[in-house]
Every structure is written in C-alpha cells, then in structure tokens.
Amino acid sequence: MWPFSGQPPAVEAKLAARDAALSTAGEFSETEHQAYLNATATEIVSRIGKGEWTATQVLEAYIARAAQAQKLTLCLTEVLFEQARAEAKQLDEDFAQTKKLKGPLHGVPVSLKDMFQVSGVDSTIGYTSWINRPAKSDALLVRLLREAGAVQFVKTNVPQTLLAFECSNPLWGRALNPWSAAHTPGGSSGGEGALLAMDGSALGVGTDIGGSIRIPAHYCGIYALKPGWGRSSTEGTTSPNPGFEAIRAVNGPMGRSVEDLKIVAQVLFGQRNSNYFPAPVPYREISLPKKLRFGYYTSDHFIKASPVCRRAVLETVEALRAQGHECVGFKLPGPGYSALSLFTAITSADGYQGLLRHLGPDPKESAMFLITLGPKLPGFLRCLAAWAISFYDPIFAHLLTQSRHKTVGEFNDYVALKLEYEREFRKLAWEEQKFDAIIAPVQAIPAVPHHGCDNLSPLAASTVQYNIVDSPVGIVPVTRVDPAKDAVTAEWFTGDDHGSRIWEDALYGKKAVYDPVKMQGLPVGVQVVGLPWGEEAVLAMMDVVDKALGPRGFGPGSWSPGDQKSG
C-alpha cells in the first residue's frame, strides 16, 4: 500500500493485534460447528432457550468460521473474541440460574461494520491516522443489541472514505468476494456482506447512504434492509464527513433470513436516548392484503441491466404472479440518471474535501478515481470535455458537469431539486400507481471484478435512486449467474431501454466487464422498495417474495469451504 517504504509501525502493530486475537480461534470442524452455522438467529435463540445449546458453544462455532472467512476474504478489522467470550459466559451463567433469556437476541453472535463505536475499541474506517483513537462509549445501536442479548465479536472491513463499492483501504487491505476471489464483496458494508455469506456471523449491521448495505447484499447473496431515515439511531457512528446531512445515512440489518432482519428491526426501531432521535416509532406488527400490487422495471434507462439482473427481476415477477399478486411495468420519473445527477451534485459540492481530509499519509485508493475526478478539473476544461463528449454520450457529459465545487447557494438549489424529485417520485409510485412495492435491479451487473469501481462508480445509480427519495428497501437474493442463460445476445442490444453509451460499452462492449463465464455462480438479488415509514411492510413483502421464489440455495449453510473460486 505504501510504495516506497514498509508499513508504518502503527499499522504493523494494529495488524499484529488483529492476528493475535484471531490466533485464539479454534480450527473449524464441520462435525462440531456446522449445526450452529446452519441455524438462523431465531433458531439459535430457540435452541439456547430450550437448554440444547449454550451461548459459548454457538460463539466458538462462529469464531472458528469467522477466522476461516478472514483468511479467504480479509473481511475483518477489529477482533473482539475475548470480550465476546466473557459476555457469552455471563449469558450462560445467568441462564443456568434463572432459565430466562436476556432478550430476543440471547447468545446470537453479531458483527458490526467498522463505523459503529464500541467502548475501548478503534473505529478507524480504514484511516491509518485514526489508529489508537478508541471510542469512549458504545454507540446506542451497540448498547441496544447487547441489551437484547447479542454477543458482538468482530467489526468488519470498509472502503476508504466509505463512498465506494470496492471494499479496500490502506490499513485493513482489500476484501474479496466469498464466491470469487477475483471479485469484490461490494461496499461500503463489504466486510459484513462477505462474513455473513460465509456464515461467519449470525447477524450484522451496516450503513447505507448510496447503496452501502444493498450492494454487498447483492454481491454476496444475503438479505438486508435499508430503512428510511429516522427509524433507528445513528448516534455513535463514525463518519468521515459527519456534518453532511443533505442525504442521510441510515443503519440497517444484514443477515441470512428475512426473519432475522425483523428481530433487529424490533430491537432498534424507535429506540432513542436524550438526543431525541430517532422518531419514537417502534416496530409495528402489520397485516398485508392478500393480493399485492407490485411495480417493476428491468432498466432505469441509464445503464441497462445485464441479462442475469434482468432475469432476477422477471423470475421474481413470475413467482409473484403465480401467487396471485399483480405486477405492473413501471418507468422511473424523468431521465433515468436524475437521482444519480442529484447525488453527484450534492456530494461533490465541497470537492470531496470532507471525505479526503483524513487521508493523511495514506495513498488514495484507485476506487476513488472517477468519484473525485470532476472537482479536480479546471472549470473550462470540464466544460470543454463535457461539450466534446456530449455528441457521443450526453448522459456522461451531463454527469461530468455535476461533479464540481459549488457555492452555498448552488448547493441549496440542488437540495431543493432533490426534494422536488422526491415528491414527484412519491406521487407517481405511491399515489397514482398505488403500488405496495417496487421490484427493481440492485445494480446493472453482479459483483464487479477488483478495480471495477475505479471507472464504474455510476453503477450505484440503481441504489442511489432510493436514497434520494428516502424509501425503505429490502434485498432478497434470487439467483446466480448461469452462462447458459445469461449471455448478452444480439436481441439484448435492441430496444429503447438503453442509456449511457460509454458505460454500457464498458459493461457489454469489446472489453466487457460483464462476463457470465467469469461471473458464474455469483449471486444476484433484487430490491423490494416500499413506501416511506413502511419498513415493516417491506420486511413482510420480502418474506412474500422469498417464499414465492422457494428454495434456491441461499441462507444459513449455503456456503462451504471450496465455494470461493480463485482469482
């Protein structure tokens, strides 16, 4: 990472401390450990409550697999095994005396994205300058999970600055996809995605401002929920740019079943302290109508979805129709890049100085290249380049003009445009179309190869869409890449659902990033988008989708050693 010298002493010490903690893990044994990994969080609590398992037994199984996952994917940052062992032991002792569970997550091993503050533990989020700055107290979310009986035992890897979906930074290294070492697990909650897909944790929590929960869930084949803003506390979440609130980051559960996500939502939603945030709206039990009305689309007219991502949406639609639900084709309002245009304009207003100011001696990751390019260009050069490019790809040219420094007045104008677009979307989708939910691609392609984010960061447009309009969104894994079904055909290039010529050529042209042979076996999910403040309905409809699709090789026990293809 540092091209002209060895690692700085602080980095060496940090990595050595992690390795020392990992060395206390037992060797994974399928005979001894696999039964615990095959259980959902709900089942773990049930078995402990019946006296069949102990929290310590469960924890040691997940510690063994987490250590195995780290060797294959570099998904871990801080390793809290000894603290977790003490907590599990206390849970077992208390249960032996009282025969009562501490809470709905009693004895469940839980992983945390590195951002979440744990008392006495660093939250470096990959910045070497933030080593040896331990948190003084637990994040509210961390405290709530512990009070519910969860055993927090690891923190997980993230991209530098958190504004990328290549999970790599100079401190903790580059995380790998659990199904293919040649591909990324996504970001920014990429370490969570990889660990959960490998059954290295029973439950996890991530954050999302542009797809950071949903992209790793899609890339790794797990379930996840991005709530709307205001449902769970963000206090104690380390951020590289804490004053930025024009687009709100949210916390949400990531896991291996819809049922497990629901438990975390029940624990976190509406719970607050003296800061009077979030909104005092706890989890509410709801009842869905027997016949649901779903909107769906397979292209946002910005970057056309690949054959496999299109297939995932259509297979979901077919399964829902077979259950008697109504599914109606839907087109997003305005140009397909509207949300990404607003996101780019707003996040780049300070030239990304807020994100980059903490790099210090760290080299800037290549995944930040295209994201941060625009503000570095002189105004006249940006305008000239945009004018020249516009004759070939007006979409690319437009987005280039949006990525620049802005005055406070301009920034406020873009936020006003965001609010206007939000109202337009909500009126169309929820008032006029009266959808219960929308089924959409998570991204145009499955997991990108390493360094794919360098020039393809606009792929996040599919997820950014629902940060801009602040919709709750669930991710359900649907299928896997199959070269026999998912090749790009001549027919795919026809139609009026195409968008940016430059980015579609990068994905599907002569040097195509989308390669169903190299991507064989990679998971593919869909977004289940719901109404504002409708997280409970989203979870219920995720369950409808999951059951309609039937068994398909996702969930606890679906990953085995040897499933990761070599790079």
Q: Are 347 and 205 contained in the same domain?
A: no
Q: Considering only CA atoms, which of 131, 121, 45 is closest in space to residue 81?
A: 121
Last residue of a domain, one of 407, 426, 445: 426
Beta strands across the sheet bearing 473-480? 76-79, 151-156, 109-113, 203-208, 250-255, 223-226, 473-480, 523-529, 437-441, 293-296, 326-329
For residue 397, the enclosing domain spans 342-426
- Looking at residue 165, which CATH number applies to its domain? 3.90.1300.10
354 is a domain residue:
yes
Q: Are 349 and 279 contained in the same domain?
A: no
What is the residue whose two structure tokens read 């000894």?
82
- pLDDT tens across 139-193, in order? 999 999 999 999 999 999 999 999 999 999 999 999 999 999 999 999 999 999 9
293 is a domain residue:
no
Q: How many domains does the chain have?
A: 2
How far is Cα 41 from Cα 54, in angstroms, rounded to an integer?
Answer: 13
- pLDDT tens across 355-411, in order? 999 999 999 999 999 999 999 999 999 999 999 999 999 999 999 999 999 999 999
Q: Are 94 and 170 contained in the same domain?
A: yes
513-to-140, 163, 176, 177, 283 alpha-carbon distances in Å: 41, 21, 17, 16, 41
* Strand 109-113 versus strand 76-79 pairing type: unpaired
Mean pLDDT, rounded, of the chain:
97
Which residues are known to be catalytic? 113, 188, 212
13 is a domain residue:
yes
* 33 has pLDDT over 60: yes
Q: Are 110 and 183 contained in the same domain?
A: yes
- pLDDT tens across 41-79, in order? 999 999 999 999 999 999 999 999 999 999 999 999 999
Q: Are 394 and 269 contained in the same domain?
A: no
Q: Are 273 and 370 contained in the same domain?
A: no
441 is a domain residue:
no
For residue 365, give every residue at least 6 positions away whose Cβ sits within 8 Å of its Cβ, in sequence order, or none: 159, 160, 164, 166, 168, 169, 170
- pLDDT tens across 244-257, in order? 999 999 999 999 99
Q: So what's the pLDDT on residue 556? A: 98
Q: Are 269 and 348 contained in the same domain?
A: no
Last residue of a domain, one of 426, 459, 479: 426
Q: Are 20 and 164 contained in the same domain?
A: yes
Q: Are 347 and 274 contained in the same domain?
A: no
How far is Cα 288 from Cα 536, in angstroms, rounded to an integer?
Answer: 10
Q: Are 278 and 390 contained in the same domain?
A: no
Label residue 2 by pLDDT band (50, 70, 90): low
Give the single-character DSSP code of 104: T
Q: Are 271 and 346 contained in the same domain?
A: no
35 is a domain residue:
yes
Last residue of a domain, one of 426, 445, 465: 426
How far is Cα 25 from Cα 7, in angstroms, rounded to an integer?
Answer: 26
Label residue 105 by pLDDT band (50, 70, 90): very high
485-to-34, 55, 229, 488, 548 alpha-carbon distances in Å: 33, 44, 38, 9, 21
With H, G, I as helix, E, B as strand and everything else as coil, classify residue 424.
helix
557 is a domain residue:
no
Q: So what's the pLDDT on residue 421? A: 98
User: With helix as H, strand as E and coil as C, how does 236-255 read?
Assistant: CECCCCCCCCCCCCEEEEEE
- pLDDT tens across 224-237, in order? 999 999 999 999 99
132 is a domain residue:
yes
With H, G, I as helix, E, B as strand and everything else as coil, classify residue 172.
coil
- pLDDT tens across 527-536, in order? 999 999 999 9
41 is a domain residue:
yes
Label residue 275 by pLDDT band (50, 70, 90): confident
- pLDDT tens across 423-471, in order? 999 999 999 999 999 999 999 999 999 999 999 999 999 999 999 999 9
Q: Are 115 and 225 contained in the same domain?
A: yes
How far is Cα 516 from Cα 485, in angstroms, rounded to an integer?
Answer: 9
For residue 259, give every residue at least 6 positions away whose Cβ sits within 8 Å of its Cβ, in sequence order, or none: 40, 41, 42, 543
